[in-house]
Amino acid sequence: MLLNLVMPTAGTATIGGRRYLDLEEPSRVIGAVLEASSAHKGRTGRNHLKACCLAVGLPMSRADEVLELVGLTPAADRMFKGYSLGMRQRLGIAAAMLGDPQVLILDEPANGLDPEGIRWMREFLQGLAAQGRTVLVSSHLLSEMQALADDVVIVAAGRLIRQGTVREVLTSMAGDGRVTVTTPERDKLAAALERIGADVTADGHDGLLVSGATAAVVGETALAAGVPLHRLTADEPDLEDVFLGLTQGKAAIR
Amino acid sequence: MNRLVRAEIFKLRTTNLWWLFAAATVVSTVVMLAVNAVAARALLKPFDQFVALDTHGHGGQIPPDFLAHLQSEWQTGHSAITQAVTLYTSGQLIGVLLACLLGIVLVTGEFQHQTATTTFLLNPHRGIVVAGKLVTAVLMAVLAWLVSTVITVAAGAIFLHSQGYGTQLGHWAVLRAILLNLAAYAIWAVFGVGFGALIRSQLAATVAATVLYLVGATGAGTVFDLIHTYVINQDWVLAAQVIVPPIASTVMISPTATFDQSPAQWVGAAVLIGYGVAAALIGTRILRRRDIA
């Protein structure tokens, strides 16, 4: 709807206050990577980009520049059908970057990428953001989003659930933070912690899961009880936990 | 608009489609020209020689029915102008189908290769995108007509001249047919774009168009003949065949009757233009409304 590809039943979507349809040169304002496989199978990557240049009135030399930008120059003259998923994603980004836009929208950019490709994508997008551009990514890979994003918006079943920086969203759900502690004297520590009102359970290995006490309190209690600690970590919920907690029961298939 | 046409032509140029269509245009033109030349050579002879040629010399006793059929065929075709028109527009039969297929491919290719998203992202004004495709299809059709006509006029003129009938290129009826043939190519290309918008699947659209075109002409002729013979025995029933697009394009370019009760050339032209305009409008409307996934 933002990009005028799907017609909304009501309302409008704007970018910088203007509808996509009203932008004079949309490709110079906003670039989008929506489908990895969107090029003719029998056309080379370079020719695909050149056709895009022609369609938006950019010089054909931009095709070579963006190919360089995404590191696809060595494969530029191969047919699209021979491209790996990672190369297709890079070509999609190259096409989106043709008009040197200030806003970039990506849908599931990490889909089908190998670990190296994911890292490249993350660094590339963060580099663009560091230049002052806006990068909007939609994804289901929450751990990847946690590593990549500054701000997150959680949407489920068509409704806005939570919005804020990654830290804000994480801490909004961190009320039941737990502490994992490993010690050679489990029983002694468990007894000491229960005395101060913490809830202690075995974690199945040689550690204890403590709730109702911060990591600092657990550490001080162990010191007072004379118990040595081998490991003490506060379990922070990750974006995936938060997402599942927030959207529980709402993500029905529609 | 200008950019879009240039982009579309570039897109055509950078796949193997370009060569397929060029080769098909040339080959079909040459084959149809040869077929028409053989027919013309026979039809332009006096009737008795025509019968002898048509029955391959071993005539013997010809059934009166068949003789009457040959007689009517000879009467329709025994004119240097008619044969010149047929020869010079030999490319039409397959050529306009190719123009139509090109129009289809221009639209359905976007869905086949999932490039519609990119195309509409680069140019969100879909009406202009479709207009660009229409212009491109027409330009390509004109090119195909040019290639085909250069072949048919060169070879056809040499053939007619060698047979002693002159080139016939001085007759307005002949020149008009060649120009109307150009219009047929262009209208069929427009028709193809609309058809492609209607049937999004490339395979379905090309197969449907080809079958409708090839079977449509003969099939419709039979159907209208049957209706005429058994249901409504009125002459306008036969004339009404012109509503079938391939028949309309034949009627449009032929200065003489192409079948019994065939209407005037302008009727064929009007029908074909009507289809072209309708196809373009419906196609644009569909593409403007449709959600692109």
Nearest partner of B281 among B184, B197, B199, judged by Cα: B197
Mean pLDDT of chain B: 86
Task: Tell me, letter by letter, the H, E, C secondary structure of chain B.
Answer: CHHHHHHHHHHHHCCCHHHHHHHHHHHHHHHHHHHHHHHHHHHCCCHHHHHHHHCCCCCCCCCHHHHHHHHHHHHHHCCHHHHHHHHHCCCHHHHHHHHHHHHHHHHHHHHHCCCHHHHHHHCCCHHHHHHHHHHHHHHHHHHHHHHHHHHHHHHHHHHHHHCCCCCCCCCHHHHHHHHHHHHHHHHHHHHHHHHHHHCCCHHHHHHHHHHHHHHHHHHHHHHHHHHHHHHCCCHHHHHHHHHCHHHHHHHHHCCCCCCCCCCCHHHHHHHHHHHHHHHHHHHHHHHHHCCCC
Q: How far is A242 from chain B (nearest CA, A)?
A: 29
State the Cα–Cα distance between residues A131 and A109, nearest whole angstrom: 19
> Is A3 an 8 Å CB contact of chain B?
yes
**Per-residue model confidence (pLDDT) at position A253:** 47
The nearest alpha carbon in chain B to A6 belongs to B291
CB contact under 8 A, A26 and B124: yes
In chain A, what percentage of residues exceed pLDDT 90? Answer: 21
In chain B, what percentage of residues exceed pLDDT 70? Answer: 97
Which residues 6+ apart lie within 8 Å of B98 measured at CB? B21, B24, B25, B28, B144
With beta carbons under 8 A apart, name residues in chain B contacting A95.
Answer: 118
Confidence of residue B108 (pLDDT cuts 50, 70, 90): very high
Q: Which of A5, A7, A21 lies nearest to residue B125, judging by beta carbons?
A: A21
Q: Which of A3, A23, A35 lies nearest to residue B114, judging by beta carbons?
A: A35
CB contact under 8 A, B10 and A40: no
The nearest alpha carbon in chain A to B287 belongs to A5
By the 10 Å C-beta count (0-12 exposed, 13-18 middle, 19+ buried), A254 is classed as: exposed
Nearest partner of B135 among B17, B1, B293, judged by Cα: B1
Q: How far is A160 from chain B (nearest CA, A)?
A: 22
Place of tokens 């196609």: B283
Confidence of residue A20 (pLDDT cuts 50, 70, 90): confident
With beta carbons under 8 A apart, name residues in chain A contacting B202.
Answer: none
How confident is the model over B268-286, as a mean pLDDT? 85
With beta carbons under 8 A apart, name residues in chain A contacting B115.
Answer: 38-40
CB contact under 8 A, A54 and B10: yes
State the Cα–Cα distance between residues A47 and A40, nearest whole angstrom: 10
Domain A178-235 -> CATH class:
alpha beta
**Per-residue model confidence (pLDDT) at position B195:** 87
**Per-residue model confidence (pLDDT) at position B171:** 86
The nearest alpha carbon in chain A to B133 belongs to A55
Angle at B277 (CA atoms; ends B276, B283), nearest 5 degrees: 90
CB contact under 8 A, B113 and A39: yes
Query: Which tokens hold the place of A61?
Result: 């030399």
A-B C-beta contacts closer than 8 Å: 78
Domain A20-139 -> CATH class:
alpha beta
Q: How far is A50 from chain B (nearest CA, A)?
A: 8
How confident is the model over A148-163, as a mean pLDDT? 83
Domain boundaries, chain A: 20-139, 178-235
Pairwise pLDDT comparison (B76 vs B150), residue with the higher score: B150
pLDDT tens by residue, A167-195: 777 777 655 567 888 888 888 888 888 88
Q: ipTM more than 0.90?
A: no
**Strand ranges across the sheet with A134-138:** A30-33, A103-107, A134-138
Pairwise pLDDT comparison (B71 vs A236), residue with the higher score: B71
